[in-house]
Amino acid sequence: MRRSMRAALAAAGLLAGALGAQTPQQAIQSEIRADAIVSRWTAVQGGVGISFPAGLYVRPGAVIAAGGGGKGFDSRLDVFARFNLDPFRENRWGLFGGGGISGRYAGRDRPSSHAYLLVFAGLEGPLRGASLAGWAPAFEIGLGGGARIGFALRQGIRGRR
């Protein structure tokens, strides 16, 4: 009897899906972005990134970007955690902040690679249409290898940021 009860509970747990009132969980959120980094060698970069949910408010992720600037070819890899103050899109624009580390490569600098702490804040905008998942604009400012200003288009999640 106990074995059949355990087997039934295990099967129910494996077959259970999200209820209608629950927000479906999206595994990966992608983004495309453009950034300017103002430092002793200023650069403009385009990049792509991914993040994934780690609870309701936090989305760890990474961005890889490349471009050019005062030291020739310039690229970076950021690894971060973003904290959303409005994870359920209750407001049209939602504040977020975060931090992490940034590795930056400049072709004509010696040494050519540098590591920096990263801190940023920004606003993420509305999706097109309240019930549709699309792309949401985001504006960021921060510090990490210089002063940063950026624009991103993030894959939207219906009912979530």
In a domain, residue 134? The reply is: yes
What is the pLDDT averaged over residues 54-79?
96
Q: Is the pLDDT of residue 130 over 70?
A: no
Whichever domain contains 111, its CATH number is 2.40.160.20
Q: Is the pLDDT of residue 18 over 70?
A: no
The pLDDT mean for the chain works out to 88
Lowest mean pLDDT among 1-10, 57-66, 106-115, 122-131: 1-10
In a domain, residue 15? The reply is: no
Total domains present in the chain:
1
3-state class (DSSP) for residue 11: helix
In a domain, residue 9? The reply is: no
What is the pLDDT averaged over residues 17-45?
82
The DSSP output letter for 5 is H
Burial of 133 from C-beta contacts in 10 A (0-12 / 13-18 / 19+): middle
Residues with Cβ < 8 Å from 11, sequence gap 6 or more? none
Provide the pLDDT for residue 157. Answer: 79
Copy the structure tokens of residue 10: 């295990």
In a domain, residue 141? The reply is: yes
68-82 pLDDT, tens digit per residue, is 998 999 999 999 999
Domain extent at residue 53: 26-155
In a domain, residue 8? The reply is: no
Provide the pLDDT for residue 156. Answer: 84
Provide the pLDDT for residue 50. Answer: 98
In a domain, residue 142? The reply is: yes
DSSP 48-117: EEEE--SSSSEEEEEEEEEEEETTEEEEEEEEEEEEES-TT--SSSEEEEEEEEEEEEETTSSSSEEEEE
Q: CA separation (Å) from 61 to 58, 109, 113, 116?
A: 10, 27, 21, 16
- The type of residue at 111 is P
In a domain, residue 94? The reply is: yes
In a domain, residue 116? The reply is: yes
Provide the pLDDT for residue 13. Answer: 58
Q: CA separation (Å) from 110 to 65, 94, 103?
A: 20, 40, 14
